[in-house]
Chain A
Amino acid sequence: MHQEMKIKAAAGILIGGLLAGCASTPTSPSAESPDPYEGMNRSFYNFNDSIDRNFFEPVARGYVKVTPDPVRAGVTKFFGNVGYINIIANDLLQGKGGQLVKDTGRFVVNSTVGIGGLFDPATSIGMPEHDEDLGQTFGTWGMGEGAYLVLPLMGPNSFRDLPNSASSMLLNPLTYLNAVVTLPLGVLNAVNTRANLLEASSIRDQAALDPYTFVREAYRQQREYKIYDGNPPGDGFEDYIEDKSDAAILKIY
């Protein structure tokens, strides 16, 4: 159900985005504005936020209350493992040979010894978890992030990251099982994922002056961080520290 909604939402936005693209060039926003669709994005943000506050967040809190920590950790590991083929495929697309071998080993070990991915023995034998997806692959190929987007029910995204949902779904074995199995699993995955984000959303609620801007910038930075595997190039603050000039300040963005 969650996945079906994801597909529909992604298709709708893709079409909407393509139509909008006829009038402008959304895939190459100016450095000044990474968010040319801010008006539309804010409406979807508010829509998502009200559904989240009234439904997903309370459900996630209830789930955390009734589910012991180790069970939730197992659920997170299971969905992480079953989606790991997508990571292996993107290792290949990014030409990360060593990581590809380790990630394939990880998937095999955790699927078997780790009982269908519920446990993670692979990390302790030198095959740690990696995080790759198609958007990151496009990033490593040199594609710019494109316009920032907020998708209904799915949240923050960008033109570069838009195909992620489709690729991760197509490469997820659960997609090809009977709906009787995928439906409850999809709901569990959605609730568990939201539960894992409770800490992040409470930091947002506590710290943000404007939650929309806060989420947008956090999303964009985290994507950059992942593309560079945790070592993104400097953000310009070093240049200011170097010469303390107003010119350096203006170059940060």
Chain B
Amino acid sequence: MHRRLQLVLPFCLLFLCALPSGATQTEAQATVEKLHNVLLETMRQGAQLGFAGRAAKLAPALAASFDFETISRLTTGRYWAQIPTDKKREFIEVFTQLSTATYAANFKDFDGERFATRAQEDKKSAQLIKTVLIKADGKEVSLNYLLAKAQGKWRIVNVVAQGVSDLSLKRAEYTAVIGSEGIDALIAKLKAKVASYGH
């Protein structure tokens, strides 16, 4: 028994030495997996919670796992610098509400789905966590999350579903609206979207 311990101990020490770089990776992965767990819980209770209940359950989880400020900065592209501070705040707020409403509308029932983390890659100072949503029939939907560290926490800045980047889609749409109609029009459209999800 002692002999076995002696054999195993050096490997344990090696593992501990490897931890510092591995630890940050695990944090990014933990952020995504925590979100996935809340999504599954919400789906399981979907019908009894209703839209408002699902949104209330998801809001704190999304606020903890997404970096909405960076996302807002990136979706408005080159226009961000020109947007007045109070409008920036309003935009971040409505964008956060929109994300919550979108998740509440789409993760509404449970049909045997599960999530699995497949890989983790360094992307400069960001981390890419590659996951899949596995449906009951075995079909997989790839969900890749790009995370950045801000205020000591790893948070999601982009979700790429089956190759389609949420950030790029929104960026294309939002910059087009700001360019032709201005930030106020964009905020109004997003508010209308949020309202439409509740019905």
A154 to B162, CA, bound (A): 21
Cβ of B87 to closest chain A Cβ, rounded Å: 17
Cβ of A169 to closest chain B Cβ, rounded Å: 25
Interface string of A203-229 (1 = CB under 8 A from B): 100111110011011100110111000
Check if B117 is an interface residue, CB within 8 A of chain A.
Answer: no
| Contact in complex: A241, B157 (CB < 8 Å) | yes
| Contact in complex: A221, B173 (CB < 8 Å) | no
For the complex, would chain B's binding face be called helix, strand, loop or mixed by DSSP majority?
helix
| Contact in complex: A238, B126 (CB < 8 Å) | yes
Interface stretch (choices B14-22, B41-49, B75-83)? B75-83
Do A221 and B126 form a contact, CB below 8 Å, given A209-B193, A237-B157, A249-B80?
A: no
Check if A239 is an interface residue, CB within 8 A of chain B.
Answer: yes
| Contact in complex: A206, B189 (CB < 8 Å) | no
| Contact in complex: A222, B162 (CB < 8 Å) | yes
Within 8 A of A (CB), among B132-171: 137, 142, 146, 148, 157-158, 162-165, 167-169, 171
A241 to B28, CA, bound (A): 15
CB closest residue in chain A, given B125? A242
A240 to B171, CA, bound (A): 14
CB closest residue in chain B, given A232? B163
A115 to B195, CA, bound (A): 49
Do A238 and B146 form a contact, CB below 8 Å, given A209-B193, A214-B173, A221-B164?
A: yes
| Contact in complex: B102, A242 (CB < 8 Å) | no
| Contact in complex: A217, B172 (CB < 8 Å) | yes
Cβ of B175 to closest chain A Cβ, rounded Å: 9
| Contact in complex: B123, A206 (CB < 8 Å) | no
* Contact among B70, B106, B168 for A217, CB-based, below 8 A: B168
A226 to B157, CA, bound (A): 23
Check if A250 is an interface residue, CB within 8 A of chain B.
Answer: yes
CB closest residue in chain B, given A208? B173
Check if A234 is an interface residue, CB within 8 A of chain B.
Answer: yes
Additional A-B contact list (11), CB under 8 Å, known A249-B78, A252-B74: A206-B105, A209-B186, A209-B190, A210-B176, A213-B173, A214-B172, A217-B172, A237-B74, A238-B125, A241-B148, A249-B77
Residues of A within 8 A of B (CB): 73, 203, 206-210, 213-214, 216-218, 221-222, 224-226, 230, 232, 234-235, 237-242, 246, 249-250, 252-253
Residues of B within 8 A of A (CB): 70, 73-74, 77-78, 80-81, 102, 105-106, 123-126, 137, 142, 146, 148, 157-158, 162-165, 167-169, 171-174, 176-177, 186, 189-190, 193, 197
Instruction: Sort A-B residue pairs by CB-CB distance and give the 10 closest, nearest first.
Output: A225-B163, A238-B123, A241-B148, A241-B126, A217-B172, A242-B124, A238-B124, A209-B173, A222-B163, A238-B126
